[in-house]
Chain A
């Protein structure tokens, strides 16, 4: 049985992943901003087999609240060995490129909060000599594009940060997983037109749980995003800067 902290537990991808964990009988500590939704999700996960489903209300931007959060989770679950960091906002690029204040706020939500939580978790898991930190980044972090580079660069920070953390903690028995979903049909992307490249949260969730179980370092999900991103990453800048992506 895993004892799992889920940050951003009301996210569609996080909830689908929590259902997979619940079916395996794991114990869950669910963190988010909306208490009603957290309680409803916890009730559901208990019926789906979770050994325990606890809730904790917190805004991810409260950067100094993480040590207390981890103390609470560890105490209530009787230990902690896995974390899934899933919260995020799809940045309004037009607004964020017009205002550095807004750009910073987005970095707080989509990068700094992840990095703070990873730091706290990393140090604790290093001390206990085991653990798994799974962080949802995005294929959007693989290359900055004009249409969403504020979101993309925050995700790029998360990708680079978790890559370094993985190297540091690998010899200490701690697994760090960087998750890069492609297009997923969730409330975050409700306004987008859907096509054949779109995946369901359930599909992505299954891949995440498998990657956690197998100790995989980086997960592109669905898998076909790996070749797509290899191509996009390798377009020379001289050409890339002329594209309208």
Chain B
């Protein structure tokens, strides 16, 4: 048993054991404890943790299996990361069709959370590009799942939080791209109303859209931010990739506090580079600016942090998100990592997928204990009233009541959960009494 931090939020970790698999031919560990697949631990809260149980490490399943350069279909072991896929396929002109805000996620993890990227309005989420996978159940069966074979288990496993069994290999359809470059623009907006207008206008012509929001802005400035759009594009013939750095230590206290935050936000909002009419980005800084600093999550200090990501239906989005931003700014508990984006209307393929039509807000909160939790509960009240949902991949604290409202299909899903699989998250939201 170890208390190592296994999830991205670095909150105090429960005791659990990590057993690493070395190949896709390995059986599941024989143990009486419950099992949970574990990829790169880029989930923020406890959906990738298994208190008192076993994490089945999948990073040893990191082999490419087949890649067809003509059709863009790739088959890989489930522990291969999306970054590793890009390394192989981008030089041949192929790129993941859905890519989250970091490239350090495994294919298994991307399926289990049905992850989305900045192109959700166009391309939907990860599951939409999944051709099939092999699922190992604890009774020893290895099932091929696709939209036509074991279709129910296929749907349950997409967004299935690792609970339906171990994905060992998967086939994906990639998208054709001209190279590593993204061309687009970035511009300031002064309010949420402007954000929604920009989004609506940009989505027809731009594959990727996203906005950063100034979380310290109050009053008339509430909801101001920077809107970024882009498309894959031709660019200079260079293969150089930007170099990264690593945050060397965990500072004794969060470096994010109301003072540094307000200063940072104002500087970031007003910096001249915030406005760029004809920008050309390398894909890494465009999609993954944070990946340049490895272990940036240590910036919040030894107590760790929470992320809150919700989606709110479009008709109320402006009011509800406005109200949330107001509360966050007043609380002075937020952080500068605030992202706002609209989801498209494509229905997710996963039974438990998070993405649904509406606007999605994601924001980090340094862990300051009770006040932080109270604020997050207040945000949940707003999300629930608006018929929205919170993203389990980012969550460490939503109540069972909230979960059951966000995912009313949870009991139908529970029938597909492998009897030997479980997670800290799953027990927290399903085994606790609803109060």
Residues of A that sit less than 8 Å from B by CB: 10, 12, 34, 36-37, 40-41, 43-44, 47-48, 187, 190
Complex contact A47–B23 (CB within 8 A): no
Pick the interface stretch among B60-68, B305-313, B315-323, B362-370: B60-68
Complex contact B22–A12 (CB within 8 A): yes
Residues of B within 8 A of A34 (CB): 25
Residues of B within 8 A of A48 (CB): 64, 88
Distance, CA A10 to CA B25, complexed state (A)? 12
Given A36-B25, A47-B88, are A190 and B63 neighbors across the interface (CB < 8 Å)? no
Complex contact B63–A40 (CB within 8 A): yes
Distance, CA A10 to CA B63, complexed state (A)? 12
Complex contact B25–A37 (CB within 8 A): yes
Distance, CA A160 to CA B36, complexed state (A)? 46
Complex contact A44–B63 (CB within 8 A): yes
Q: How far is the CB of A23 from chain B (nearest CB, A)?
A: 10
B327 at the interface (CB under 8 A from A): no
Which residue on chain B has the smallest CB distance to residue A34? Answer: B25
Which residue on chain B has the smallest CB distance to residue A37? Answer: B23
Chain B CB within 10 Å, residue with most, of A12, A34, A43? A43
Which residue on chain B has the smallest CB distance to residue A185? Answer: B20
Which residue on chain A has the smallest CB distance to residue B77? Answer: A40
Interface size on B, residues (CB 8 A): 14
For the A-B complex with A40-B23, A40-B63, A47-B66 known, give 6 more contacts whose Cβ atoms are closer than 8 Å: A37-B25, A40-B65, A43-B63, A43-B65, A47-B64, A187-B20
Q: Which of B19, B20, B63 contacts A41 (CB 8 A)?
A: B63
Distance, CA A190 to CA B21, complexed state (A)? 10
Given A44-B64, A47-B67, A47-B88, are A187 and B25 neighbors across the interface (CB < 8 Å)? no
Could you show 15 A-B contacts with beta carbons less than 8 Å apart?
A: A10-B23, A12-B22, A36-B25, A37-B25, A40-B23, A40-B77, A43-B63, A43-B64, A43-B65, A43-B66, A44-B64, A47-B66, A47-B67, A187-B22, A187-B60
Complex contact B24–A40 (CB within 8 A): yes
CB-CB contacts below 8 Å: B9-32 with A? 19-20, 22-25
Residues of A within 8 A of B24 (CB): 40
Q: How far is the CB of B56 from chain A (nearest CB, A)?
A: 13
Q: How far is the CB of B244 from chain A (nearest CB, A)?
A: 16
Residues of B within 8 A of A187 (CB): 20, 22, 60
Distance, CA A211 to CA B188, complexed state (A)? 53
